[in-house]
Amino acid sequence: MSKLFSKPAIYFIMGSQNTPGRDALEILEAALAGGINCFQLREKGADALTGELLLDFAVECQRLCCAYKVPFIVNDDVELAYALDADGIHIGQEDMEASTARRLMGPDKILGVSVHSLEEAEKAVLSGADYVGMGPVFGTQSKADTKSPAGTSGILAVKNRYPGLPVIGIGGIAPDNAGQVWAAGADGVAVISAIVQAESIALQIRRFNESIKAGAEK
């Protein structure tokens, strides 16, 4: 795989719980066709798929990502990521130790870690993280146990300490505020609701791409 996040990334995150009454695979395909460059499968909460249903859904997501040559990353579930030979795993602070995930997945898989501070980013780097997801930058409805919005200062601090570490901003990011995230030096924006809930996913991703240029001019 080419270097991770070598160009600004529109990193889409979704689970079936984010698309009630709609076809999640159709939404993923629209996002892939629209130009996302990373995907994370995040099945969470009371309605999350489990067992065979989860496996079948995950296989379909992976197949679509593969067709569009977009990395397929699994949130939290190392067993699933390993079974599918996914491209990577994303670990939160309340999940398995990132260093354990690194050991179980091997040296060649992508390891991402959610962080809220420079200290957590330092620990993630020592655990072998390839990138960190930093947030919530803005207020988010998509995560139940989330911390209060931190703005872009954490991204600035982590990029200052680790210029070569890819930092992905997350939490309430939409095309109209993404410019601030790019301006702070983020390598990507990770997004659930602003993509899932968009009337036109293609148009929304185009707007995200336009925000990259707007951010650079700030």
Report the C-alpha gap between 173 and 130 in whole angstroms.
22
Q: Is 172 annotated as a binding residue?
A: yes
Residue 127 in marked binding region: no
CB of 2 to ligand TPS, least distance (A): 19
Residue 178 main-chain phi, psi, to 5 deg: -65, -30
The verdict on 116 binding ligand TPS (CB under 6 A) reads no
40 is in an annotated binding site: yes
Peptide bond into 136 cis (omega under 30): yes
Query: Is 114 in the active site?
Result: yes
Give the x-and-dash track for 157-196 against ligand TPS (CB under 6 A). -----------x-xxxx----------------xxxxx--
Sole binder of ligand TPS in the list 14, 64, 72, 90 (CB under 6 A): 90
For residue 141, say whether it is annotated as part of any ligand binding site: yes
Window 43 to 72, contacts with ligand TPS (CB under 6 A): none
| Calpha distance 101→112 (Å, rounded) | 10
Rounded to a whole number of angstroms, the minimum distance from the CB of residue 85 to ligand TPS is 20
Told to judge if 42 belongs to the known catalytic residues of this protein, a careful annotator would answer: yes
Residue whose beta carbon is closest to ligand TPS: 133
Contact 132, 117 (CB under 8 A): no
User: Is 63 annotated in the active site?
Assistant: no
- Contact flag: residue 133 with ligand TPS (CB under 6 A): yes
Residues that bind ligand TPS (CB under 6 A): 13, 40, 42, 75, 90, 92, 112, 114, 133, 135-136, 140, 142-143, 146, 168, 170-173, 190-194
Active-site residue list: 42, 114, 143
Q: Could you tell me which residues are annotated as the binding site for Mg(2+)? A: 76, 95
